Structure 1
Amino acid sequence: MKYYYDPQNRLPYKKRLRNRCIAIAIFVAACALIGSCIFKSGEQATQPTGFVVNGNDPTATSKEWITDTLRVDSSIIDSLKEAHRAIKVKDPLTESAAKSLFGEAKASTEAATKESERNENLENTQATVTAAVTPENPPEVEIVDSVHIKNQKDVFLAEKIDNMLRRFKPMHSAILVVEPNSNEIIAWGETKNYKVQNAPDYISRNTFPAASLAKTVTIAAAMESNRYSLNSPIPDRGAHHTLYKNQLRVPENYAGPTIELQDAYAKSANPPLGIIGLNVGAKRLRDAAKMLGYNTNFPGGLPGRSNYAPPDSGYGLAEVSCGFIQSTTLSPLLAAAQVRSILAKKPLEIPWAKDLEGIAPKQRIALDVGKFSENTYYGLRAAMLRSVTNGTARKHLSTKNMARKNFNALNIGGKTGSLDGNDPNGRYEWFMGFAQSKEDPKKAIIVVIMQVHDLQGYRSQPACQVAAMIMNYWAHQTLWPKK
C-alpha cells in the first residue's frame, strides 16, 4: 500500500522542533494582538471626562481612536509578516500552519475593530433614546392630606384604609366600616378616577346597580313565605352566571340536578334564584325589599332612595329576583344598614356619624319599615356565613389574606356581586358582610366595599380581598389588645 505521507522523508527532529516553536510564537503574538485591542476598547469606553489620550481631544470619535490603535499595532503586524517570511522551510505543513495563524490574527483584528464600532454606535443610540424619553420635569409627589383621617372615629383603621386605596388604586371605590352595636360609622374611604378623596360622596349615592346583593331580598321573601328553608332543593339548570329563559322552564316531573337554597345564595346562582322569584311572586318580593330599605324616602334624603321594581310576572321578574338588571340600585350606606339589621335581628336603621354632614345622619333614627321573623333573620345570617365557607367569598376571605388566629376566632359572613353599570361607567364589584367574635359576639364589625373597574383596563384587588385585610387588621386591634 502506498502512503501519501512517506515517513522516510521526514525532516530532522531539530528542524521540526524549531518549526513548532515558531508556530507557537506566532499564535501567542496573535493572541496578544487581540487582547490589546479588547483592552484598549474597554479603556476608551470607561475613560473619565476630561482625560486626554496621546494629546487627542476627549470628544474624538471612535473611528479616530481605532485608526490610532491600528497605527500603534502595525509594528506587530509587520513583525508577523517578517516571521512568516523567515520560516519558509521545506516542510509544507509548518508553512501552511504559519499562514493559517497569520490569517486568523488578521481576521481577529478586523473583527475587533468592527465590534468596537458597533458598540460605539449602540451606546450613542441608547443615549439618544434615553434623552428623548426622559421627562424634563420629574413626576409630582402626591401630598397626603390626613385631616379626613384624623376626623374619623377609628383613626388607625381609617389610616389603614387610606393606605390600601393608595396602594391598590381602584378607579372608583367606596369603603364603609360600621360598628353594629352602636350602628356608628367608624371608618371610611373613597377614590374617584384613581385619586383618594378627602370627603365622601359615593357612600350615600343610590346610582349603583345592586347586582347579586339583590338576592338577599329573594331568599328573605322565600323564607317569609314559609315555602322554603335553607335546605330546600332548587332546580339547578345550566351555568350559574347566566340567565336564559330555558333555564327557568322547569318540567313538572323534573328529575335533574338541584341545589339547596343556601348554596344558591352563597354561590350566587342566577337560575335557581330566578326560579324562586317566579314562585314567590312580585308582591312578596316588594314587601321583603321594603323591610330591607328599598323604595324608601329616608329623612333628609340620607341615603338616596334605592330602587327595586319587579314586574308582576315573566322573565323580568326573574331578572330582578337574581339581580341580573341595572335598574335595581343600592347605596353603600343602605347595604351596611341591611347587614346590621340581619346581624342584630332588628328593624332597619341607617348608620350614622357626627362628622359626615350631608352624607349620613348625625344621630340614630328609628325607621318604620317592618321586621322579619326570627327564622328569616337566622336564615339570612346562615346564608351569608355559607358564602364564606362554601361560596363566592371563600377564595379571598380565608387564611390566604388573614392571620389564621384571627380567621379561626371569627364568624365571617357576606355577599358578593358584580354587574356592569353606567354611573360611573364600568364593572361594579360589591361585598357586604360582617366579622363577629366567636367568644364575645358584641365584638363585631360591618364592612361594605363597592369598586368600579375599567372595562378595558386595569383592575385593582378584589373586593373580598380588601374586606379580608380590613377584618384582619380590626381583629388584631380588637381581639388581641396589647397589654
Structure 2
Amino acid sequence: MKYYYDPQNRLPYKKRLRNRCIAIAIFVAACALIVSCIFKSGERAAQPKGFVVNGNDPSKEWIKDTLRVDSSIIDSLKEAHRAIKVKDPLTESAAKSLFGEAKASAEAVSKESERKEDLENTQAAITAAVTPENPPEVEIVDSVHIKNQKDVFLAEKIDIMLRRFKPMHSAILVVEPNSNEIIAWGETKDYKVQNAPDYISRNTFPAASLAKTVTIAAAMESNRYSLNSPIPDRGAHHTLYKNQLRVPENYAGPTIELQDAYAKSANPPLGIIGLNVGAKRLRDAAKMLGYNTNFPGGLPGRSNYAPPDSGYGLAEVSCGFIQSTTLSPLLAAAQVRSILAKKPLEIPWAKDLEGIAPKQRIALDVGKFSENTYYGLRAAMLRSVTNGTARKHLSTKNMARKNFNALNIGGKTGSLDGNDPNGRYEWFMGFAQSKEDPKKAIIVVIMQVHDLQGYRSQPACQVAAMIMNYWAHQKLWQTN
C-alpha cells in the first residue's frame, strides 16, 4: 500500500497557522500548571503550622485555588481540542497527544502535593517530639577582661580564636621582650573562655620536651658540645628504651647533630647527652632557667626539676619524658625572653593581673649563661621552625608570606600526658623577631590540654603562627 500527499486536501495556510498556535498554547498552559503547583506547594510549606489567614487555613485555600486553576485549564484544553477537530489528521492527533500529557501532568502534580503534605505533617510531629522545651543558652561575651589588657586588639584576636577552636583547657600568653610586659593573654577551662586567668602562673603542668632546653644549655655550658656535635641516633625519636641509651664504645651507627636533636625533639640523643653531662650540670642549668626557685610573692609557682644522679631516670629527665618535671606558662615566657635578650631570667609582669604576675619588674639572682650558650639556644630554637617539629604549622600555610619572610621565628614544642588537669598536654614556647628591626619582637607561649578520648583543637604551633601573623600585620607595616 502506498501513501502519498494530496495537495488538493491540504488546509489553507491560515488554518494551519491557527492550529499550530493552539498546540503551542496547550503546551504553555501545561507548563504553567506544573510551575504553579510547585510554587504553591513551596509557599504552603514555608508557612508555620497552624497559620490562619482571615479565619481560613491557607492549606485548604491553596487546595481550592489549585482545583479551580486545574478545572479552568482543563476546560480551556477541551475547548482547544474541539476547535481543532478539522480535516487535518496530523494536527488533530498532535492536539490530542498534548491534551493527554497536560491532563496526566496535572494528576501527577496533585498526587505529589498530597504525598508532600503527608510527609510534612509527619516531619512536624517528629520535630515537635524531639525539640527541647528550653532552647540552648546563648553565650554572652564579657569583653571587660579584653579591654583591660595592654594590647586590646591582640587580646580580642586571642579571645576569638579560643571561642572558635574550643580547646578543653588552654593558656595563651604574649609578652613584649624589651619591656618584659604581658601584653595579651587568654584561657579556657572545660571548653569555656575565662574572664580571669589562672593557668598562667600554675606550676602543675608537665614540661614535656620543653625540658630539653635545660639539657642543651648544660651541654653547651660544659664546653663538651656544640650545635654541630654528632650524637648517636638510635631508634625512634618519640620513644626512650634502655637499649637506645646503651652506646657501644666503637659506635659507627647513625648520628644526629645536637641542634637537630633539639629541633626534632629526639628523646634518645637528648637522654644520652644528659647521661654524659651529669645531674649536677643539669641542675645548675635548670636553676638559671628558673626551675626549683621560690619567686617573690609565689608568682609564678615553683617549677620542679629533679634529676637523679644516674641511671635511666636521669635520661628521662634530660629529655622531658617524665611528669614530675613541671613548668608554668609564665616561667616558659621568662625563659624565652632570657634567651632572646641574652640576659638573666626575669619574670614577665603586668599591672592588671593581681595575684597572677608581678606588678613590676623584679631582678632575680639566678645566674647567667655564657654568650656562646645563649647564641646556641637561640639558634636551636630557630632550627625547630626551619627543620624541626614546628616546621609544618609555623610556615606560610598559616602566615602571610610577607610576614613570614620578614621575621626570625624560633621555638620549642612538647607534648606529654598529665593529671592536673587530666589530658594530653601540648606546648609551644617561642618568639618572632623582625629581621630589619630586632627591637620589634614578641614572645608567645601556648599550653593546651586535650581530651585523651575526644576532640582535639588546633595544634599549638598553628595558633602561635596565627598570633604572630596578626601581630606582624599590626606592628611591622605601620606607616607614620
- TM-score, scaled to structure 1: 0.80
Structure 1 outlier segments of 4+, above 6 Å: 1-58, 62-114
Does the 8 Å contact 2:40/2:62 carry over to 1?
Answer: no
| Distance apart, 1:34 and its partner CA | 11
- Residues 313-367 of structure 1, C-alpha deviation per residue, up to 9 Å, x if partnerless? 2221111111111111000010011111111111111111122121111122221
Q: Secondary structure at the match of 2:87?
A: coil
- For 2:396, the equivalent position in structure 1 comes to 399
**Rounded Cα–Cα distance in structure 1 between residues aligned with 2:17 and 2:179:** 104
Does the 8 Å contact 2:173/2:184 carry over to 1?
Answer: yes
Change (3 A) 1:289 1:47: closer
**Rounded Cα–Cα distance in structure 2 between residues aligned with 1:443 and 1:423:** 36
Higher alpha-carbon deviation: 441-450 or 153-162: 153-162
Does the 8 Å contact 2:336/2:431 carry over to 1?
Answer: yes
**Rounded Cα–Cα distance in structure 2 between residues aligned with 1:304 and 1:465:** 28
| Distance apart, 1:26 and its partner CA | 16
| Distance apart, 1:83 and its partner CA | 18
- For 1:5, the equivalent position in structure 2 comes to 5
Q: Mark the runs of 5 or more structure 1 residues left unpaired by the alignment.
A: none
Q: Mark the runs of 5 or more structure 2 residues left unpaired by the alignment.
A: none
Change (3 A) 1:56 1:155: closer
| Distance apart, 1:130 and its partner CA | 2.4
Change (3 A) 1:96 1:308: same
C-alpha RMSD of the superposition:
4.8
**Rounded Cα–Cα distance in structure 1 between residues aligned with 2:20 and 2:478:** 86
Does the 8 Å contact 1:421/1:428 carry over to 2?
Answer: yes
| Distance apart, 1:225 and its partner CA | 1.4
| Distance apart, 1:229 and its partner CA | 0.8
Change (3 A) 1:10 1:417: same
**Rounded Cα–Cα distance in structure 2 between residues aligned with 1:201 and 1:55:** 61
| Distance apart, 1:385 and its partner CA | 0.5
Are residues 1:457 and 2:454 paired? Answer: yes
Does the 8 Å contact 1:428/1:452 carry over to 2?
Answer: yes
Does the 8 Å contact 2:213/2:377 carry over to 1?
Answer: yes
Does the 8 Å contact 2:70/2:106 carry over to 1?
Answer: no
| Distance apart, 1:302 and its partner CA | 0.8
Structure index of larger Rg = 1
Higher alpha-carbon deviation: 262-271 or 13-22: 13-22
**Rounded Cα–Cα distance in structure 1 between residues aligned with 2:195 and 2:163:** 13
Q: Secondary structure at the match of 1:418?
A: strand
Are residues 1:426 and 2:423 paired? Answer: yes
**Rounded Cα–Cα distance in structure 1 between residues aligned with 2:212 and 2:411:** 12
- Residues 147-205 of structure 1, C-alpha deviation per residue, up to 9 Å, x if partnerless? 22222222222222222222222211111111112211121111111222121111100
Change (3 A) 1:108 1:330: same
**Rounded Cα–Cα distance in structure 1 between residues aligned with 2:430 and 2:282:** 22
| Distance apart, 1:218 and its partner CA | 0.8
| Distance apart, 1:438 and its partner CA | 1.4
Change (3 A) 1:95 1:342: closer
Does the 8 Å contact 1:204/1:331 carry over to 2?
Answer: yes
Change (3 A) 1:51 1:163: closer
**Alignment of structure 1 residues 384-395 onto 2, 5 Å:** 384-395=381-392
Percent identity, please: 96
| Distance apart, 1:211 and its partner CA | 0.6
Q: Secondary structure at the match of 1:41?
A: helix
Does the 8 Å contact 2:414/2:427 carry over to 1?
Answer: yes
Does the 8 Å contact 1:66/1:113 carry over to 2?
Answer: no
Give the total of aligned pairs.
480
Higher alpha-carbon deviation: 30-39 or 290-299: 30-39
**Rounded Cα–Cα distance in structure 2 between residues aligned with 1:429 and 1:105:** 68
Q: Secondary structure at the match of 1:73?
A: helix
| Distance apart, 1:17 and its partner CA | 21
- Residues 128-149 of structure 1, C-alpha deviation per residue, up to 9 Å, x if partnerless? 2222343444433322222222
Does the 8 Å contact 2:145/2:196 carry over to 1?
Answer: yes
- TM-score, scaled to structure 2: 0.80
Does the 8 Å contact 1:63/1:117 carry over to 2?
Answer: no
Change (3 A) 1:10 1:204: closer
